[in-house]
Amino acid sequence: MLPALLAAAEEQHNPLLPETPDLVWGTIVFVLLLAFFWWKILPSVKKTLDARTEVIEGGIKKAENAQAEASAALDRYNEQLAEARAEAAKIRDQARQDGVRILNELKEQASIEAARITANASVQIEAERQAALVSLRAEVGSLAIDLASGVIGQSLSDDKTAARLVDQFLAELEASEQDASEEKSSK
């Protein structure tokens, strides 16, 4: 049947089927080109693809290393930030303690100064009171002598008599004031 087909094929030339020599030469050229690609082009393509793979894997490794370094840097940064916050809190606490201590010292100094001013004022008031009392005694004594001279009708020019009379009058006046103040406090 094959010879019959060949005979029929020879009789009718099919434009889709090439001639036998064309098939042979086409097959030889195909095999040569396949061998050339297999031994020459394919290894260089494979080498180029391997190089690209290495570059890509190297880039991935570099990216992973950079990511690891960035993570480590972030961890160090967070650690330093935590240390800085702790140190800032410590400084704030120390400042608060210093502020309280300074405030207490200032309050103590102010109370000491107030006590000193109060003591000085008390001393000054007492001195002025004593001066006023002495002045008042002299004035009251002078008035009492003048009044007693008018009542008695005698001149009390003798200093000793006048002084005795003034002292007696003032003693009676003070005694009457004390009695009056005691009566008020007992009511």
pLDDT over 60 at 6, yes or no = no
Q: Among residues 80, 100, 174, which one has the least CA distance to residue 133?
A: 174
Look up residue 117 and give its two tokens: 């001013």
pLDDT over 60 at 3, yes or no = yes
Whole-angstrom CA distances from 150 to 75, 137, 145 are: 109, 19, 8
Look up residue 113 and give its two tokens: 């100064």
Strands (E), 13-94: none
Answer yes or no: are the C-beta atoms of 137 and 168 closer than 8 Å: no
Task: Work out the average pLDDT over 58-69.
Answer: 92
Task: Work out the average pLDDT over 92-104.
Answer: 95
What's the whole-model pTM score?
Answer: 0.39
Q: How many angstroms separate the most distant Cα atoms in the chain?
A: 196
In the prediction, which pLDDT does 156 show? 59
Task: Work out the average pLDDT over 157-183.
Answer: 74
Answer yes or no: are the C-beta atoms of 141 and 162 closer than 8 Å: yes
Answer yes or no: are the C-beta atoms of 166 and 140 closer than 8 Å: yes
pLDDT over 80 at 183, yes or no = no
Task: Work out the average pLDDT over 11-28.
Answer: 81
Q: How far apart are CA 170 and CA 91, in angstroms?
A: 70
pLDDT over 80 at 83, yes or no = yes
Task: Output 7 or 165, whichever has higher pLDDT.
Answer: 165
DSSP readout, 126-153? Answer: HHHHHHHHHHHHHHHHHHHHHHHHHHH-
Positive or negative, the Cα torsion across 27, 33, 39, 43? negative
DSSP structure class, residue 19:
P
Q: Burial, 100: exposed, middle or buried (Cβ in 10 Å; 0-12, 13-18, 19+)?
A: exposed
Task: Work out the average pLDDT over 92-109.
Answer: 94
In the prediction, which pLDDT does 30 show? 95
Residue 88: band (very low, low, confident or very high) from pLDDT cuts 50, 70, 90: very high
Q: How far apart are CA 163 and CA 67, in angstroms?
A: 110
In the prediction, which pLDDT does 176 show? 83
